[in-house]
A and B are shown apart, each in its own frame.
Chain A
Amino acid sequence: MHRLRIRLSPLNRRRWQQFRRNRRGWWSLWIFLVLFTLSLFAEFIANDKPLIVRFDGDFYFPVLVSYPETDFGGIFPTEADYRDAEVQSLIKAKGWMVWPPIPYSYQTINYDLPVPAPSPPSATNWLGTDDQGRDVLARLIYGFRVSVVFGLVLTVLSSFVGVAAGAIQGYFGGLTDLFGQRFIEIWSGLPVLYVLIIMSSFVAPSFWTLLVILLLFSWTQLVGVVRAEFLRVRNFDYVKAARALGVPDPVIMVRHALPNAMVATITFLPFVLSGSITALTSLDFLGFGMPPGAPSLGELLAQGKANLQAPWLGITAFLTLAIMLSLLVFIGEAARDAFDPRKTLQGAES
């Protein structure tokens, strides 16, 4: 914390204090960061490969390196299937192995279920399995990671495009602004979901193609606020002074105008992030999202809808989404408070 203080300007330090003063947002941020960091190491938490194998005096790390079965005295030259009883007994004979807490990956099918899939929560599958016998908790962890990473990347890219578009419109004004605004009006009048469905039906869906398709429509969100801010700032005396100094327009935009727009932008970001996550989830739910087999919250929701007799599917997906989105909204609220000049100044007085 100490190093952080030195780097921040006094204003930002006050904002940071104001952010911390909102206990709910502060806790939400921590919970979210812990969950997200854990999910980044999903391979070490939920995997169908052991973390460490000790075999014949050597250490093996199956999570990181792929070893053929022959290394352990097996028959096949393909990668060892550590869940196979044959392989397990081979390794046990000459050493030991350590499994991750959840011994399933998102695509591991548990073939020894006592009841037909989807099976209810049990000691082996803590949140039960889905209708293909895959562990729900494992899919949840991977699905959470994909959702958040997708949301973050989409947010960063769409704010980059949106801020640039808003900045150009607001700073230059006039015809640039006029045409830009009309274009955005028409563009955001398109029925987004249908266009997405049509496009994802003839583009092979993957993480990156979905990102591009969603980006086409999500960049418009920030244009309005940034444009308004630039329209205001371009008449400020210090911007005029910079023009009189001969500072080139792009530099003025970045150095003098952008910091003013950042407050509005940063306040908006958590909401853009939760919007992006919801967009991906709804596409997945409709079956136009991530490729089949990929872990995703939307797909889990769809399964819950298809298997009403297995309520753990729907409930798990619902709770995960509800908690994740609430955390983001709470963080967003705290960020908004932190950037609210009235509250920040109050904080300075007391």
Chain B
Amino acid sequence: MSGGALLQIRDLSVAFGRGTGATRVVDRVSLEIDAGETLAVVGESGSGKSVTALSVLRLLPYPNASHPTGSIRFRGDEILTAGRDRLQRLRGGEVGMIFQEPMTSLNPLHNVEKQIAEALRIHHGLDRAAARRRIVELLELVRLPDAERRLKSYPHELSGGQRQRVMIAMALANDPELLIADEPTTALDVTIQAEILDLLADLKSRLGMAMMFISHDLNVVRRVADRVAVMHNGEVVEHGSAEEVFERPRHEYTRALLAAEPSGQPEPAPRDGGPVLETENLRVWFPIKGGLLQRTLDNVRAVDGVSLSVGRGETLGVVGESGSGKTTLGMALLRLQRATGAIRFDGRDISTLKPKALRPLRRGMQIVFQDPYGSLSPRMSVEEIVAEGLDVHRLADDETDRARRVAAALEEVGLDPTLARRYPHELSGGQRQRVAVARAVVLKPSLIVLDEPTSALDRSVQSQLVTLLRDLQARHQLAYLFISHDLTVVRAMSHRILVMKDGRIVETGEAQSLFRNPRHPYTRRLLAAAFGESADTLDESDSVII
């Protein structure tokens, strides 16, 4: 414990609420960051890592939040008792902050110049021309292409990665000594994620700042951290150099977290299966209309000529970045999205069936969505949610049979049947996702489209869900169409993989061989970004412009 640390957090506690209803979300956390060093704070959602970071700038909703114990010293100055002026100098001045969601943390009504100028004007009082020179300089520093022209762009005109670069430029505007990055790459695609991480590492070494890096993603942390603090239930359970923590974890929670990476492989698919779902040259085009008569000028080709087949008991992984059309493909296959091209389900062409004729077939093909909070109606109990499909298809003979089937489905997905009376908001994210799976399997379908089912969940919950899905598949010969951008999960789930980019299939093949030796340059790039090595190490001739 040297006295010269840049940021020193001692015995910090954070409580929400007052009186007897108060809950302590951070409990006696001690951390310190030296100048020029990166400390990663790792933990699952609810572990108190973001709250700790926000306390450094006193950005919590006081007085609802309070600090029963502890002190935070930045360069020796106590922050918890600092006055307004000191805090003002701290925020955006000596300490910069990057948030997770670049869309909501930029003001949608301000252009790029105005966003960054705000920080400059408050702290430096620069005039317009000087401010603009500085802004361009900053945008070049964060490698925003075409910096000069981007000054007048609004946030919605930028891509996710570009927005995050603007955020970083804002945080850097006043040469901070400490940068707090709260899940800065979580909302981004893997290849963009890799670029942003490279950028942060580069900036850190060039500008010599310290960084407090909050993340739940161990892959990311491994790439940037000098030291790592692991948080669990509001406490720091392990604290040490990155190498120590990753190679020789001492605390069992850290070990669990490291082992939580979804791993293993699905059981081999039965050979005699035959296709459950087939499609040829499937297209979903959204017309772009213009002109006086609203004539179709061009089309957005969300899905463009995709042919695929999924066999009984087989998982087909669909991989791609956001905007590649993989979700639209899933929707189109279930006829939830208008499309052209043949779709054969169980040998029957369903692409032209009327809704009424399609209804009985819907029983056989189900879907599980990404967001476990949005996919369950908040006003229905778990039992009502799971039983809805039973009622539509009149599968239950009577009330008791219905309750029995619901209980069986809940048990099958590893939930206690007594949860049936609860409402979704009383369940955790993992439990909700299991309810969503139960809603699908209660109908005994032959195909389930899994649209990013693990993306909103913590790693440890992810691997439980992956295990559950593999079990269900083996038991019921389910066919899965597994849509995900997360290659770790896809590798653990899929028999075959299909890589999509801009609505087209760029590569398809057996999962193991595709991971071992990807042929298409885009696939290589994805793999490189996801599994550690920087994309730069690839052969220059292989890289493509994304």
A residues near B (Cβ < 8 Å) are 9-10, 236-238, 240-249, 251, 255-256, 259, 349
Contacts and interface: CB of A to CB of B under 8 A. Distances in A.
B250 interface: no
Contacts of A255: 377, 380
Contact of B374 (A9, A238, A245): A238
B527 interface: no
B374 A244 contact: no
Given A237-B369, A242-B388, A248-B392, 20 more contacts: A9-B423, A10-B423, A236-B374, A237-B370, A237-B371, A237-B375, A238-B374, A238-B376, A241-B369, A244-B362, A244-B366, A245-B392, A246-B358, A246-B359, A246-B360, A246-B389, A247-B389, A349-B17, A349-B21, A349-B64
B439 A241 contact: yes
Contacts of A247: 388-389, 392
Nearest to A262: B379
A238 B375 contact: yes
Interface string B338-381: 00000000000000000100111011011101110011110110
A259 B379 contact: yes
Q: Which of B336, B374, B376, B443: most chain A Cβ within 10 A?
A: B374
A15 to B, nearest CB: 13
A245 B366 contact: yes
B40 interface: no
Interface band, chain B:
20 to 34
Contacts of A243: 336
A244 B334 CA distance: 7
Contacts, number: 60
Contacts of A248: 359, 392
Contacts of B358: 246
Question: 6 tightest CB-CB pairs across the interface, nearest first?
Answer: A246-B362, A237-B375, A245-B389, A237-B369, A237-B374, A246-B359
B373 to A, nearest CB: 9
Contacts of B21: 349
Contacts of B363: 246
B436 interface: yes
A256 B376 CA distance: 10
A192 to B, nearest CB: 33
Contacts of B393: 246
Given A236-B374, A237-B374, A349-B64, A245 B369 contact: no
Contacts of B331: 240
A252 B358 CA distance: 16
A240 B367 contact: yes
Interface of B: 17, 21, 64, 331, 334, 336, 355, 358-360, 362-363, 365-367, 369-371, 374-377, 379-380, 388-389, 392-393, 423, 436, 439, 443
A10 B331 CA distance: 34
Contacts of B359: 246, 248
A247 B394 CA distance: 11
B166 to A, nearest CB: 28
Contacts of A256: 377
A53 to B, nearest CB: 55
A241 B367 contact: yes
A236 B371 CA distance: 10
Contact of A240 (B17, B64, B336, B443): B336
Contacts of B379: 9, 259
14 contacts: A9-B423, A237-B371, A237-B374, A237-B375, A238-B374, A238-B376, A241-B375, A241-B436, A242-B388, A244-B367, A245-B366, A246-B362, A246-B363, A247-B392
A294 B370 CA distance: 62
Contacts of B370: 237
B333 to A, nearest CB: 11
Nearest to A10: B423
Given A245-B392, A246-B362, A240 B369 contact: yes
Nearest to A237: B375
A260 to B, nearest CB: 9
Contacts of B360: 246
Given A244-B367, A245-B362, A248-B359, A238 B377 contact: yes
Contacts of A242: 388
B23 to A, nearest CB: 11
A196 B380 CA distance: 44
B506 to A, nearest CB: 27
Contacts of B388: 242, 245, 247
Q: Which of A9, A246, A255: most chain B Cβ within 10 A?
A: A246
A255 B375 CA distance: 14
A248 B362 CA distance: 11
Nearest to B17: A349
Q: Which of A10, A236, A244, A256: most chain B Cβ within 10 A?
A: A244
A251 B370 CA distance: 24
Nearest to A243: B336
Contacts of B380: 255
A105 B355 CA distance: 61
Contacts of A249: 355
Q: Which of A237, A248, A255: most chain B Cβ within 10 A?
A: A237
Q: Which of B17, B360, B392: most chain A Cβ within 10 A?
A: B392
A173 to B, nearest CB: 12
B331 to A, nearest CB: 8
Contacts of B365: 244
B186 to A, nearest CB: 20
B129 to A, nearest CB: 42
Contacts of A237: 369-371, 374-375
A259 B389 CA distance: 19
A349 B443 CA distance: 39
A255 B379 CA distance: 9
Contacts of B336: 240, 243-244
